[in-house]
Amino acid sequence: MTKNTVTVIDKIGFHARTASLFAKKASGFESAVRVSFNDKTVNGKSTLAIMTLGVKSDTTVEISAEGADEEEAIATLTDYVANNFNS
């Protein structure tokens, strides 16, 4: 398992649009992807699950991945969040 932390800088946090963008990007990887915040961990490929975390702007989350492409998944998804969901 590979994991990394990143700060969500979007002015609203993980809301419907950003959660959807993240889940879509995460779904492109074979590895299982998880997002953790405040002792809660959810499926990173599920928009609704990510939204239930209640992540606000300037909050740090942990992204983890486990599988064949876990290192690529973590690098790509961490950069994606750090760059405010811009490729």
Active-site residue among 2, 15, 42, 82? 15
C-alpha to C-alpha distance for 12 and 72, rounded to whole angstroms: 27
15 is catalytic: yes
Q: How far apart are CA 3 and CA 17, in angstroms?
A: 23
Neighbours of 19 (CB within 10 A): 23
Three-state SS annotation for 53-76? CCCCCCEEEEEEEECCCHHHHHHH
Catalytic residues: 15
